[in-house]
Chains A and B, each alone.
Chain A
Amino acid sequence: MASISPSIAVEAAVPGVAEIRANVVRRRRWDIVFAVVGFLATSVGVVTLLALFVDLVMDGYHRLTPDFFLSFPSRRAAEAGILSAWVGTCLVMMVTAAIGVPLAVSAGIYLEEYAPRNWVTTLIEINVSNLAAVPSIVYGLLALGLFVYALGFGQSILSAGLTLALMIMPVVVVATREAVRAVPHTIREAAYAVGATRWQATRDHVLPYSIPGIATGVIIGLARAIGETAPLITIGALTFIAYLPDPPISTKPPFVSFDWLWSGFTVLPIQMFNWVSRPGTAFHANAAAAGIVIVVLTLAMNGFAIYLRYRLRKRITW
C-alpha cells in the first residue's frame, strides 16, 4: 500500500481515474464481504457436523467394543448391543438396493431416452420430482396399506426394503436422468450412424458413461434410507428382537434361502432412538455409540460414491 501511495496524488488530479478507482474498491469490498459470508455459511454446515460427531464420539466411543456389535438389546446398558439392529439395517438395505435401483434406473433411462415429449411425460416428470419431497412417513403409511396388508407381506424385512425402495426411487430417477443427459448427443448419433438400435446405443454407450452419476445417486439415496425411522416404525419395525433372521446362505441344499425376507426386524436408528429416551446415562452412551456407527456408515457410503465416480470417470475416454 505504502509503495503506491505517491501515485495517488498524481491520479487524484484526474477525476475520472479516481472515480473508477473508488468504484473498483467499492465493488472489491463487496466481493470480499460475500466471500466471508459465504465461507461462514459453509462453515456452519461443516462445524455443526463436526461438533455433533465429536460430541457423539466423546459420549460413545468407549462403548464401541466388539461385544457391542455382537450383542442383542438388553435392559442392562452395559450388556446391550446392536447385533440385531445392524444386521437388520444391512438386510433391509440389500432389499432396497436390489429392488429400488433397477426400477429407478430403468425409469430414469426411459424418461430420458425413450419417452415421447408430451404432456403425459411432463406429468410423470413433475410427479417424480415432487415425490422426492414427500415426507418419509407418508411412504410408511402407503407401505402399511399396500405391502403389509394388501399384499400380505406382513411386518417383514421385505416390506421395509420395498418401502425404502419407493422412498429412494425419486432421488435415483433424478440422478439417472441427469447422468444420462450429460452424455453428449454425438455419442448416440455415432451409434445410430453405424446402425445401432436405441437399446444398443443405450446399453453399450449411454449407460456405461452415465454409471458414475447413477452410482452417486444410488448411494446418496441409500445413505438417506439408512437413517430412516418413521416409515419403518409405521410398518411395524420391532424394537426388541434377540435373534437373527434365517441366514440367506446355508450348507444344505438348496443352499439359498429367502426366509429372512419374512422375518421381523429392527434397524440402527430405531435402536438408537429407543436408547436416547431411556433414563440413565449408560443408555445414552449406547445411543451415542449407535449414532457413531450410523454416521460412519453414511460417511463411508458417501466417500465410496465419490471414489467410484472418480474411478469410473477416469475410464471414460471420449
Chain B
Amino acid sequence: MKFALFGGAAAGALFASQVAFAAPEVKIDGSSTVYPVTEAVAEEFQKAKKGAVRVTVGISGTGGGFKKFCRGETDISNASRPILAQEMEACKQAGVDYIELPVAFDALAVVVHPQNNWAEVMTVDELKKIWEPAAQGKITNWKQVRPDWPDAKLSLYGAGADSGTFDYFTEAVVGKAKSSRGDYTASEDDNILVQGVSGDKFALGFFGFAYVHENPGKVKTVKIVNPKTGKPVEPSMEHVIDGSYQPLSRPLFIYVNRKAAERPEVAEFVEFYLVNGASLAREVGYTPLPDAAYKAAWARFQERKTGTVFGGVPEVGVQIMELLQRELKS
C-alpha cells in the first residue's frame, strides 16, 4: 500500500509540474504584524465571494515576504516597513513592478505598572537614555532617568530581537534599527511582556497597542512627548490617526504585484481591502487610516502607479496624507 502510494507520488511528480487550480488564487505572504488585518480581509473576501476565490496568507516576515514577492511567487506582500533599497533592486532585476498601499497604522505603547504614579509623561530622549546600547548595566534606577523619580530598580520589558516591533522601537527611539541594550526581559510574545509589567511595580515596557486594549487595568500607558510640537500625547487611536502620536506609530503596507493586479481576483481583493480595511483593522485591534488615505490609496491603485515613496530608506514620524501625496520612485 505504502509502496503503491510512493509510486503514485513519483508518477504525479513526473506528470504534473504545476497543476493549475480550478479556483483563482490570491497569494499573500510577509509581515506577521500586518497578518491579522490581511487575515480578516481575506476571511471576509472569501465569504463575500462564496469560496470562488482562494486567498492564502503566510507569515515569513517583511523581509522574507519581499524575497518571495520579488521572485514573483506571491501576488501581494504584507510589509510593516517600506521596501528597502536592496529589495527594490531584487524586484527590478526580476521585472516585478509593485504598487505601494498603506492599509493601517501600527502603534507601540510605552507602559508601566498601574500603580506607577510618577512616569505620566516621557520624552523620546528619556526613552533613548534608557534603551540605547550605552545604557546597558548603567541606567538601572528610575532616579537616573529623571532625578525626582523614585530611587528604585528599573526593570525593563521589551520585544525580542527577532520581531519587527523591536526594529521599529529601536529605530524610532534610539535612531538606529536593532540598536538596543541587551539587559532587559525580552520576549517575542507580547503577552509575556504584559504579564511581566503587570506584576512588577517598577517595570517599564513597550509593545503593540492591541495588547494594551486587550488587557485593561493590567498596565498603564505613558504619554509620549511629540518631538515636533513638544506636547505630551496620550497613546490613543485618534492621536495615531491625526498623526500627533509620534514617533511610535507607523503605517503598515501591502505591496501589490503590478502584473498580478491585472487578474480580476487580485484587483477585487485589493479593492475589498481598501474599502473594508478601516473597520476590519479596528476589529482586530489596529488603528485604521483616515478615510481620505484609503481613498488616495485606491486612486493610486486604480491608476496602477508603481514604485515607493520612500526610495528604499525607512523613515520615522511620517504623516500619512503627506506620504500619499509624495512622488513615487522605483
Asked if A258 meets B8 with Cβ closer than 8 Å, knowing A240-B43, A243-B23, the reply is yes
Size of the B side of the interface (Cβ < 8 Å), in residues, is 50
Q: Which of A22-30, A126-134, A208-216, A270-278 touches B?
A: A270-278
Asked if B189 is an interface residue, CB under 8 A from chain A, the answer is yes
A298 at the interface (CB under 8 A from B): no
Contacts of A152 in B (CB 8 A): 17-18
Asked if A74 is at the interface of the complex by the 8 Å CB criterion, the answer is yes
Chain A CB within 8 A of B60 CB: yes
Among B11, B16, B68, B214, the residue within 8 A (CB) of A236 is B68
Assess the A102–B43 pair: CB atoms within 8 A: no
Task: Please measure, in the bound complex, the distance between the C-alpha atom of A228 and the C-alpha atom of B214, giving whole angstroms.
Answer: 30
Is the CB–CB distance between A243 and B51 below 8 Å?
yes
Q: A242-B42, A262-B16, A277-B190 are in contact. Are A102 and B54 (CB under 8 A)?
A: no
- Interface check B191, CB cutoff 8 A: yes
- Do residues B35 and A239 form an inter-chain contact, with CB atoms below 8 A? yes
B55 within 8 A of A: yes
CB distance from B47 to the nearest CB of A (A): 9
Question: Is A262 in contact with B18, judged by CB distance below 8 angstroms?
Answer: yes
Please pick, from A95, A233, A238, A279, the residue contacting B210 in the complex, using a CB distance under 8 A. A279
Question: Which residues of the other chain, B, contact A241 by a CB distance below 8 angstroms?
Answer: 56-57
Q: Which residues of A contact B13 (CB under 8 A)?
A: 153, 158, 261
- B9→A95 contact, CB < 8 A: yes
Given A239-B58, A243-B54, A259-B19, A279:B285 Cβ within 8 A: yes
Which of A74, A101, A262 has the most B CB atoms < 10 Å from its CB? Answer: A262
B196 interface hit (Cβ, 8 Å): no
Tell me if B208 counts as interface (CB < 8 A to partner A). yes
CA distance A158 to B13 in the complex (A): 9
B280 CB–A CB distance under 8 Å: yes
B9 and A99 form a contact (CB under 8 A): yes
Task: Kindly state whether residue A284 has any CB partner on chain B within 8 Å.
Answer: yes
Given A97-B2, A102-B3, A236-B58: A242 and B8 interface contact (C-beta under 8 Å): no
Question: With A242-B46, A284-B191 in contact, is A236–B39 under 8 Å at CB?
Answer: no
A98 within 8 A of B: yes
Q: Is A154 an interface residue (CB 8 A)?
A: yes
The complex places the Cα of A278 from the Cα of B59 at a distance, in Å, of: 13
Within 60-89 of A, Cβ neighbours of B (below 8 Å) are at 72-75
Query: Measured between alpha carbons, how far is A101 from B12 in the docked complex, in Å?
Result: 19
The residue in chain B whose Cβ has the minimal distance to the Cβ of A84 is B56
| Shortest Cβ distance from residue A146 to the other chain B in the assembled complex, whole angstroms | 13
Residues of A within 8 A of B5 (CB): 94, 98
User: Is A6 interfacial (CB 8 A cutoff)?
Assistant: no
Report the nearest A residue to B51, measured CB to CB: A243
Task: Tell me if B118 is interfacial: C-beta within 8 Å of chain A.
Answer: no
Chain B residues with Cβ below 8 Å from A258 are 8-9, 11-12, 16
With A101-B2, A236-B58, A242-B55 known as contacts, the answer to whether A75 contacts B9 (CB < 8 A) is no
Given A73-B39, A240-B43, A258-B16: A98 and B280 interface contact (C-beta under 8 Å)? no
Query: Which A residues lie at the B interface, using CB under 8 A?
Result: 72-75, 94-95, 97-99, 101-102, 152-155, 158, 233, 236-243, 256, 258-259, 261-264, 274, 276-281, 284
Q: A158-B13, A258-B12, A280-B214 are in contact. List 7 more A-B contacts (CB 8 A).
A: A75-B39, A75-B284, A236-B58, A236-B60, A240-B39, A240-B57, A277-B189
23 CB-based A-B contacts, threshold 8 Å:
A72-B43, A75-B43, A95-B9, A99-B6, A153-B13, A233-B59, A233-B60, A236-B68, A237-B58, A238-B56, A238-B57, A239-B39, A239-B59, A240-B55, A240-B57, A242-B42, A242-B43, A258-B8, A259-B16, A259-B21, A274-B59, A276-B189, A279-B214
